[in-house]
Amino acid sequence: MKDKYDLDMSKPVCELIESVRDMIYDARCKIRNIGYLNDNRWKERLEPMEGTLSCVLISLYSLNEEIYEWELRATKSFAFRSRGIGSESVPCFCCGAGGLNSNISAFISSEEDGEKINKFFKFPQKLDYRDYEPNRIQFKVGGCQRHLLNLQKLNHLCNWGGINQEIVNKSLKMDWE
Ligand SMILES: [Zn+2]
């Protein structure tokens, strides 16, 4: 779905903004290089415009952080109300290691939701459904000692009350990786 400027409107907004930033970045470099022509004849006159483009680049960058967070939540997500981190025998969501691990327990809306949430994970996690407590369905996500930071990150990203594939993917990687 491309518009007349060849912008693919079906893509996430943060990607579109990023592509616009790339163009502005190129434009800024071109203006700078033009300034060097004819013994820097127009350099001083062009510099303020180069500066203006730098401001636009920075503003778009910070707006895009907000858009990214918003899109992360707005994409199809399921209710997931974390009760915090405890410990239980649930496989690590990063490496699959079993045994007693740290884990997030969260209330979810239905057993059916739980099955869908489980598909976000490479290693199946634990759906805790009890016939005598049909309204208190819990979903449990494990994290081994080595991946405790990933589990904490997941818990943090879900603290608004929902979960989706992007959030799980994001938690599998730490920011410095
Ligand atoms: Zn692990």
Q: Is residue 8 assigned to a domain?
A: no
Final residue belonging to a domain, choices 33, 52, 74: 74
Q: Is residue 24 assigned to a domain?
A: yes
Instruction: Please calculate the CA angle 68-103-105 and round it to the nearest 5 degrees.
Output: 75
Q: Is residue 96 assigned to a domain?
A: yes
Confidence of residue 18 (pLDDT cuts 50, 70, 90): very high
CA of 113 to the centre of ligand 1 (A): 24
- Asked if residue 176 has pLDDT above 80, the reply is no
Which residues share a beta bridge with 8? Answer: 2
Q: Is residue 1 assigned to a domain?
A: no
Which residues share a beta bridge with 158? Answer: none
Same domain, 82 and 70: no
Same domain, 57 and 90: no
Query: At residue 132, what is the residue type?
Result: Y
**Sign of the torsion formed by the C-alpha atoms of 86, 91, 95 and 101:** positive
Helix axes 13-35, 43-74, angle to 10 degrees: 170
pLDDT computed for residue 73 by the predictor? 75
pLDDT computed for residue 52 by the predictor? 98
Q: Are 81 and 27 in contact (CB under 8 A)?
A: no
Q: Is residue 3 assigned to a domain?
A: no
Same domain, 29 and 58: yes
User: How many Å apart are CA 28 and CA 38, to the nearest integer?
Assistant: 19
Same domain, 64 and 90: no
CA of 171 to the centre of ligand 1 (A): 12
Same domain, 93 and 161: yes
Query: At residue 155, what is the residue type?
Result: N
CA of 90 to the centre of ligand 1 (A): 11
Same domain, 20 and 84: no
Same domain, 144 and 59: no
CA of 71 to the centre of ligand 1 (A): 28
CA of 3 to the centre of ligand 1 (A): 45
User: Please, what is the average pLDDT of the chain?
Assistant: 93
**Sign of the torsion formed by the C-alpha atoms of 93, 94, 99 and 100:** negative
At 86 the three-state DSSP class reads: strand
Q: Compute CA distances 123 → 62, 92, 153, whole Å.
A: 35, 8, 17
Q: Is the pTM of this model over 0.95?
A: no
- pLDDT tens digits for range 81-123: 999 999 999 999 999 999 999 999 999 999 999 999 999 999 9
How many domains does the chain contain in total?
Answer: 2
Neighbours of 142 (CB within 10 A): 27
Query: What's the average model confidence in pLDDT over 142-151?
Result: 97
Minimal CA–CA distance to 154: which of 172, 142, 176, 171? 171
CA of 109 to the centre of ligand 1 (A): 27
CA of 101 to the centre of ligand 1 (A): 9
- pLDDT tens digits for range 62-76: 999 999 888 877 777
Same domain, 93 and 156: yes
CA of 149 to the centre of ligand 1 (A): 10
For residue 50, the enclosing domain spans 13-74
Ion ligand 1 residue ranges (Cβ < 5 Å): 92, 94-95, 97, 144, 147
